[in-house]
Amino acid sequence: MLSAYVNSMKIPELRRRILFTFGMIALCRVLSNVPCPGVDPNQLDQLFKAMSKNMGGGFLSMFNLFSGGALQKFAVGALGIMPYISASIIMQMMTPVIPSLEKMVREGEHGRRKINQYTRYLTVVICIVQGFMLAKTMANPQMLGMPGNAHPVINPGWRFIVMAVIILTSGSMLLMWFGEQITERGIGNGASIIITVNIVARLPQAVLGMITLVAAGGGMGTGPQNFTIIHLFLMLTMFFLVCAGTVMLTQGHRKIPIKYARRTAGSRFSAGQTTYMPLRVNYSGVMPIIFASAILMFPRFILQWIPYTQKHGWTRFFQYGTNWYMFFYALMILLFSFFWVANQFNPIQIADDLQKHGGFVPGVRPGQPTAEFLDHTMTRITLAGALFLTGLAILPMILYRQFGIPPLVARFFGGTSLLIIVGVMLDTMRQVEAHLLSRHYDGFLHKGHLRSRRGG
Summarised one tens digit per residue, pLDDT across range 86-127 is 888 888 778 877 888 878 877 877 888 888 899 999 999 999
Question: Crossing angle, helix 287-304 and helix 415-438, to 10 degrees?
Answer: 150
SS3 of 101-139: HHHHHHCCHHHHHHHHHHHHHHHHHHHHHHHHHHHHHHH
CATH code of residue 58: 1.10.3370.10
Q: Is residue 360 part of a domain?
A: no
pLDDT at 224: 47
- Contact of 255 with 276, CB cutoff 8 Å: yes
- Please give the radius of gyration of the chain, using alpha carbons only, rounded to the nearest integer: 24
pLDDT at 165: 92
Q: Is residue 341 part of a domain?
A: no
pLDDT at 220: 47
Per-residue pLDDT tens over the stretch 131-152: 888 888 888 776 555 555 667 8
* E strand map for 348-445: 359-360
Q: Is residue 158 part of a domain?
A: yes
pLDDT at 54: 55
According to DSSP, the β-strands at 274-280 and 268-270 are unpaired
According to DSSP, the β-strands at 253-260 and 274-280 are antiparallel
Domain count, the chain: 1
Residues paired with residue 75 on neighbouring β-strands, in sequence order: 35
Q: Is residue 381 part of a domain?
A: no
Between CA 8 and CA 2 the distance in angstroms is 10
Question: What is the pTM assigned to this prediction?
Answer: 0.76
Residue spans of the chain under pLDDT 50: 56, 220-224, 453-456
Residues paired with residue 264 on neighbouring β-strands, in sequence order: 269
Q: Is residue 138 part of a domain?
A: yes
Q: Is residue 395 part of a domain?
A: no
pLDDT at 1: 60
Q: Is residue 404 part of a domain?
A: no
Helices vs. strands in the chain: H and E counts, helices first = 19, 5
Between CA 20 and CA 23 the distance in angstroms is 5
Closest CA to 317 of 333, 332, 334, 329: 329
pLDDT at 455: 45
Domain of residue 4, residue span: 1-201
Q: Is residue 130 part of a domain?
A: yes
Closest CA to 63 of 4, 130, 128: 130
Angle at 291 between CA 290 and CA 295, to 5 degrees: 120
Between CA 88 and CA 115 the distance in angstroms is 9
